[in-house]
Structure 1
Amino acid sequence: MTLVNRREQFIEWGDCDPAGIVYYPRYFVYFDNATVALFAAAGLKKDEMVKEFDMVGYPMVDTRAKFSIPSRWGETIVIESRIAGWKRSSFDVEHRVLKGDALAIEAWETRVWVGRHPDDPDRIKSQPIPEEIKARFA
């Protein structure tokens, strides 16, 4: 069974556009935070991973979302996140946003595991994802 993390998100006034609904780029902030929370749920805090695995992070390189139901100020949504697949140096994350029992948003991300470039420490370079990281999500 794959690890699924559920995270509640309260919709703040500042997250909304003049129509009173969440301004769509804010969801991508929520999804970024949900990905960090997913790793933490697997016992992998980002600051500890940076030190232990000599990595810089896992930046997003591709994303998309399907919006079905809007969210408004004062509501609480639930974001369910899981790793949908692993590759050598990248992985896919799926997010489902729920309003009660209704599916409000489906979103997908591809992220790349990166460390410092060996020839230029000011640049980053993809690295193989350690097998022990992948095993934490099984």
Structure 2
Amino acid sequence: MSYTREIQIEFNHCDPAGIVFYPRYFEMTNSVVENFFNDVVGRSFASMHNGANNGVPTVALAAEFVAPSRLGDKVLFSLRIEKLGRSSVSLKIEGHMGAELRLRVALTLVWIDGMKSAAWPDAMRARLVAYQEDAA
């Protein structure tokens, strides 16, 4: 099981050649992560960042741009947990249009509390573990 989110490619995502300008993919993948935390983990980015003094910054990121996406395309992004650590989580995100792979992203996030890495709060860890097991 993967967490999925469809994103339609808009004019603001494209470069003069009419394809997605690669930094826009990072914005899209961050949106997928943000929605995953809200929908699955039960902690919105707003609740983490507005006064709670915690969050999940990206500490590693690698991307492969396999095929171009163009204005009007609807790309289905899927996220799955690869590894859950004491304070980190490694994710894989793929973007497909139909059967065609458009991009593949591997990223690692770290839970921080008070601007230092910390163990996942019990409730968040339980949801991440349950989701990881559901995906297996």
Q: Look up the match of 1:15.
A: 13
| Corresponding position: 1:115 with 2:113 | yes
Q: Look up the match of 2:91.
A: 93
Instruction: Tell me the secondary structure at the aligned position of residue 29 of structure 1.
Output: helix
Aligned partners of 2:60 and 2:79: how far apart in 1? 16
How big is the shift at 1:50? 2.8
- Give the TM-score of the pair, scaled to structure 2: 0.84
| Corresponding position: 1:35 with 2:33 | yes
CA contact (8 A) 1:5 1:37 kept: no
Q: Look up the match of 1:132.
A: 123
More deviation, 96-105/40-49: 40-49
Instruction: Tell me the secondary structure at the aligned position of residue 42 of structure 1.
Output: helix
Aligned partners of 2:33 and 2:112: how far apart in 1? 16
Residue 69 to residue 47, structure 1, CA distance change in 2 (3 Å)? closer
The letter of the residue matching 1:111 is L
Question: Where in structure 1 are there 5+ consecutive unaligned residues?
Answer: 117-123
Report the aligned-residue RMSD. 1.8
Aligned partners of 2:53 and 2:121: how far apart in 1? 11
CA contact (8 A) 2:37 2:45 kept: no
Q: Look up the match of 2:2.
A: 4
Deviations 1:14-43 (A, max 9, x none): 111111000001111111110111122315
More deviation, 78-87/54-63: 54-63
More helix by proportion, 1 or 2? Answer: 2
Max Rg structure: 1
How big is the shift at 1:134? 2.4
CA contact (8 A) 1:40 1:46 kept: yes
Aligned partners of 1:47 and 1:70: how far apart in 2? 29
Q: Look up the match of 2:44.
A: 46
Task: Name the % identity.
Answer: 33
Deviation beyond 2 Å, 4+ runs, structure 1: 47-51
Q: Look up the match of 1:121.
A: none
Aligned partners of 2:53 and 2:82: how far apart in 1? 21
Q: Look up the match of 1:102.
A: 100
How big is the shift at 1:49? 5.4
Q: How many residues in Structure 1 have an aligned counterpart in Structure 2?
A: 127
Residue 93 to residue 80, structure 1, CA distance change in 2 (3 Å)? same
CA contact (8 A) 2:14 2:70 kept: yes
